[in-house]
Amino acid sequence: MSHGIIDSLGLEENSLIVGSRFEDSFNSKQVICSNATILNFDINIKASDKSRVIATCSYHGCPWRIRALLCSDGYSFEVKKLNPTHLCHGVNIIGNK
């Protein structure tokens, strides 16, 4: 069904890019997780504490990852590093559902 093309879904508003800002660490996790859900990818939160949120794709060997760090204002988070490329095919094709 899917050919792995995900740029036709109109994700502008939800797109995660380097420089994306979040209200706080909870919000950053929410946005990262819901973004992955929209795109049908399964991710793991690798690290989440007062100063950083790191998430990777849960598919072994997939290079997708995101790192958001605490901003100098002391509460908001900003995406500092992002590898947006999924080499996996997403959960639809793996067949988790």
- Alpha-carbon distance of 66 to 34, in angstroms, equals 14
- Alpha-carbon distance of 72 to 78, in angstroms, equals 10
Q: Tell me how far, at minimum, the Cβ of 3 lies from Zn ion, in Å.
A: 16
User: Shortest CA distance to 44 belongs to which of 88, 9, 95?
Assistant: 88
Which stretch in 4-12, 14-22, 67-75, 82-90 sits in contact with Zn ion by CB under 5 A? 82-90
Q: Tell me how far, at minimum, the Cβ of 50 lies from Zn ion, in Å.
A: 27
Structure tokens at 82: 């992002």
> Helix (H, G, I), strand (E, B), or coil: what is residue 32?
helix
Q: Tell me how far, at minimum, the Cβ of 91 lies from Zn ion, in Å.
A: 9
Would you give the binding string for Zn ion spanning residues 46-75, x where CB under 5 A is met? -----------x-x--x-x-----------
For Zn ion, the binding residues (CB under 5 A) are 57, 59, 62, 64, 86, 88
